[in-house]
Amino acid sequence: MPKLDLKTIPQTNATGYPPEYAGEVQGRMYRRLAPAGGISDFGVSHVVLKPGAWSAQRHWHEGEDEFLVMLAGEALLIDDSGRTPLMPGDCIACPKGDGNGHHVVNESTRDCVFVVVGGPGASDCHYPDINLHLSAGQGYRRKDGSGF
């Protein structure tokens, strides 16, 4: 049956960020829905952001579109244009290669919940605010190419 039983899908706050950039996503609890649902054309994550948590370090992807829809609670979209409040039902589209670093931050006092969809594959990811770069096939590096 294609309806997903969310509570049976493992939830984690794992991150590949180096320790100096991992603190902001400790309260990001996510479930990978695509493998659980047997789909692979795109990735889907169900995310709960605890108060204070970030969806990610602010970033943009060279080769993967992203789409996010808010399900519950309140959050802020932060990107090059500033701070935009997000409420349930709000939708965000982040085109690949647009150079507009973005993330979603929960500055409220209760959990917020969203679903985020990402294009398949893996490409370089840019982090305008910090000394971090995701190099496709090489993982996280400093901007001078050195490893952590």
Binding residues for its own copies, rule: CB under 8 A, are 1-4, 6, 33-34, 36-42, 44, 46, 64-67, 69, 71-72, 77, 79, 81, 84, 86, 88-96, 98, 100, 102, 113, 115, 117-120
Q: Which is nearer to its own copies, 1 or 144 (CB)?
A: 1
Q: Which is nearer to its own copies, 14 or 39 (CB)?
A: 39
Instruction: Calculate ∠ Cα 104-109-112, nearest 5°.
Output: 45
Q: Which is nearer to its own copies, 8 or 146 (CB)?
A: 8
What is the DSSP annotation of 126-139?
E-TTSS-EEETTTE
Smallest distance from its own copies to CB 10, Å: 15
In angstroms, the CA 115 to CA 122 distance is 19
Element (H, E) at 9: none
